[in-house]
Structure 1
Amino acid sequence: MTQIEQFAEPAVLPALVADTLTQRMRALRHRWPPGDGVGVFHDVRPAETGYGEATTGTLRARLAERYLSALDAAEAGGRPPECWRPLFQYRHHPGVRPVQFALGGLHAHIAHDLSLAVVDTCHTLDCAPPELEGEFERVGDLLASLEERIHDDLMPGPDLLRIADPLNHLVSSWSLERAREAAWSSARVLWRLRGLPSSAEEFRRQTDAGAGLVVRFLLTPCR
C-alpha cells in the first residue's frame, strides 16, 4: 500500500476518529523540552481537527493524520516523509530560531501533507478535488491564521532583527499562499494519476523531495 492510499477508506470518517485525533494532538502538547524544534511546531499547530461538517472535518482530520504519521515514524526510528526529516534532524540545533522551526513544519504540512489529505478525503467521500475546493480554502484560511500567530508570537523584535538579518531574509522569502497553490495543484495531479499507482508514487516522492529542500532552506542556522 502506498502512502497515497494508506488512509483511503470507503466510509465517511466517524466523529470518534476525529475526536481521538484531537485528543492525541492535545496529549502531545509540551511533551518535548523548551526549544525542541518539533515541540515548537506542535505547540503552535491547532489541536482540534474540527469535525463539524463532514467534508471540513474529514479534510482537517486527514491532515492531522498525515502529520501524526510522520511524527510516529520519526519517534519509532523509522523514516518520515523527506519534507519532515530536516525538522527532526535540526530540532536541537542552537542556531535555528523557533520561528524557523514553526515555518519549516508549516511548509511540510502544506506542501506535502495537505495535498495528500485532499486525495485521502476524496477517496473517503467518493468525490473529486473540485468538490472540496471550498473546504480546502477554509482549511487554508486556518493555516494562514496559524502563520500570523507564528509571526506574532515567535518573530524576534526589531532590535534583534538588526543583528539577525539572515533570519528576516529567510522568513520573508517564504510564501504561504504559494505553498497553498502548489498543494492544490499537486492534489489535482495526484487525483488524475490515481489509476497509475507507480506514476502517482513517483510524483508524490518528487513533491516530497521539493518540499524537503524548502524546509532545509527555512532551517538554515542564523547564528
Structure 2
Amino acid sequence: MVQTERFSAPARRVDAVAQRLRELGARWPASDGVGVFNRVYLAVTVAVGRDIAQGRFADPRAAAALDVRFAERYVRAVELVESGGAGPACWRPLFQYRRHPGVQPLQFALAGINAHIGHDLAHALVDTARSLACDPLELEDEFDRVGELLVALEERIREDLMPGPDLLQVADPLTHLLGSWSLDRARDGAWSSARALWALREFPGLADEFGQRLDAGVGLVGRMLLTPLSR
C-alpha cells in the first residue's frame, strides 16, 4: 500500500495538470496555433503521469513537482494573454500568429515547444529545486527522463503534422526552417540556463536580467519558427 501510494499520489497531481490542459484545449478550434501546441503538451503530460504511475521515475515526488511547476508557466501565460496582457516574450509569437493562414501546424507545435523548453523548463527546474529544498543537480534524472519523452514525441509530431511528401525536398522552405531547430539543443540550453539561474539566486538583479534576456532570445527563435511559408 505504501509503495502504491508513493507512485499514485504524484501521478494524481500530474493527472490534474492533464485535466487543466484538456479544459484549455476545449476553448479553441483545431486550427488554432495555441491549440495545436496544447494537444502536443497534453500528450507529453499524459505520458509523464503514466510513467510516474508505473514507477519509471526514481523519485516520483520530484518528477510530479517538476511537471506541475513546468505546466504552471504555460497556463499562466495563457491566462495572462486571455486577460489582455502581453504574456512572456517567449510565448508572444505563438499567440500573435496563432491564426495566421500561412503558418503550418508543425510550426505552431515546435514554436510552443521552443518557448516551453527553452524558457519555462529552466525556471521550472529552479522553482522545483527551491520547493524541495535541493540543488537542481539532484533533479537531473527527472529532467532527463522528461526530456527523453519529449524527444520521442517530437519525432511523432513531425511525422503526424508534416503537410506532405514535398518536405522531403531539401530546397523546401519548411524543411530548411525546421532543420535549423533542435529539441536536444533546446533541452541542453534549458539545463545550462537553470544552472545559471541557480548560481545567480543570491544576486536577484542579475538573475532578473538573465531571465529577461533568456525570455527575449527564446521569443526571437519562436518568431523565426513561425515564419509564414504559404498563403
CA RMSD in angstroms, aligned pairs only: 1.9
Aligned partners of 1:158, 1:23: CA distance in 2, in Å? 35
Divergent runs of 4+, >2 A: 14-22, 28-31, 46-52, 159-164
Aligned partners of 2:229, 2:173: CA distance in 1, in Å? 6
| TM-score, normalised with respect to structure 2 | 0.85
Aligned partners of 1:73, 1:203: CA distance in 2, in Å? 22
Aligned partners of 1:60, 1:220: CA distance in 2, in Å? 30
Q: 1:121 to 1:167 in 2, by over 3 A?
A: same
Q: How many Å apart are 1:197 and its aligned residue?
A: 1.1
| TM-score, normalised with respect to structure 1 | 0.88
Aligned partners of 2:70, 2:149: CA distance in 1, in Å? 12
2:71 aligned to which of 64, 75, 78: 64
Contact 1:30 1:43 in 2 (8 A): no
1:24 aligned to which of 20, 24, 36: 20
1:212 aligned to which of 201, 215, 219: 219
Matched, 1:91 2:98: yes
Q: How many Å apart are 1:155 and its aligned residue?
A: 1.0
AA partner of residue 94 (structure 1): P
Unaligned runs of 5+ in 1: 1-13
Contact 1:36 1:92 in 2 (8 A): yes
- Which deviates more from structure 2 when the two are superposed, residues 174-183 or residues 71-80? 71-80
Q: How many Å apart are 1:56 and its aligned residue?
A: 0.8
Contact 1:96 1:220 in 2 (8 A): yes
Aligned partners of 1:108, 1:123: CA distance in 2, in Å? 22
- Which deviates more from structure 2 when the two are superposed, residues 83-92 or residues 33-42? 33-42
Contact 2:129 2:135 in 1 (8 A): yes
How do residues 105-184 of structure 1 correspond to structure 2 at under 5 angstroms? Answer: 105-159=112-166, 162=169, 165-184=172-191
Aligned partners of 1:77, 1:146: CA distance in 2, in Å? 32
Q: 1:164 to 1:39 in 2, by over 3 A?
A: farther
Contact 1:161 1:167 in 2 (8 A): no
- Aligned length, in residue pairs: 210
Q: How many Å apart are 1:159 and its aligned residue?
A: 3.3
